[in-house]
Amino acid sequence: MPPTLPDDAALAQLHAHAVSQLSPATLARLRAARHAPQRARAHGWWLATACSLVVALGLGISFTARPPAVTPMQVAAMAADDSSDVLDENPDLYLWLGATDLAME
C-alpha cells in the first residue's frame, strides 16, 4: 500500500515554516531573481532554434539534391553480377540434396 500524502493545510504549514527559516538576505536575492528579466535564457532558445533550422534545411537540401548519375559501366557491372542462374546450371546441387536427409527436414 502506498504511503498517504499529507493534506494541503499541512503542506502549506510546512512551507511557511521553511520560509520563516530563511535569512532576509536570501529572501531578497530570491525575490530579485524572480523579478529579473529573463532575457539571457531567451537568447539561448533562439540560438538553439536557429541551429536546428540550419541542420534541417541542410538535410532537406541534401535529400532533394540530384542523385549521382550512374555511368553505363556501373550499369553493366551490376547486370554482370547477377548470379541467380547459377543454381539452374548446376544439377549437382539437386543430386546432392536428393542424396542427403537435409532435404526432408
**pLDDT per residue as tens digits for the range 46-66:** 888 899 999 999 988 888 877
Backbone angles phi, psi at 3, to 5 degrees: -70, 145
Query: Could you report the per-residue pLDDT of 14-35, keeping only the tens digit for each?
Result: 999 998 999 999 999 988 988 8
User: In the chain, what are the domain boundaries?
Assistant: 8-104
Which one of 21-30, 39-48, 70-79, 88-97 scores highest in mean pLDDT? 21-30
Q: Which three cell numbers stand for residue 100?
A: 542427403
Kindly provide the b/e burial profile for residues 25-42, where b requires at least 16 CB atoms within 10 angstroms of the residue's own CB. eeeeeeeeeeeeeeeeee
pTM of the model: 0.30
- Asked whether the beta carbons of 93 and 87 are under 8 A apart, the reply is yes
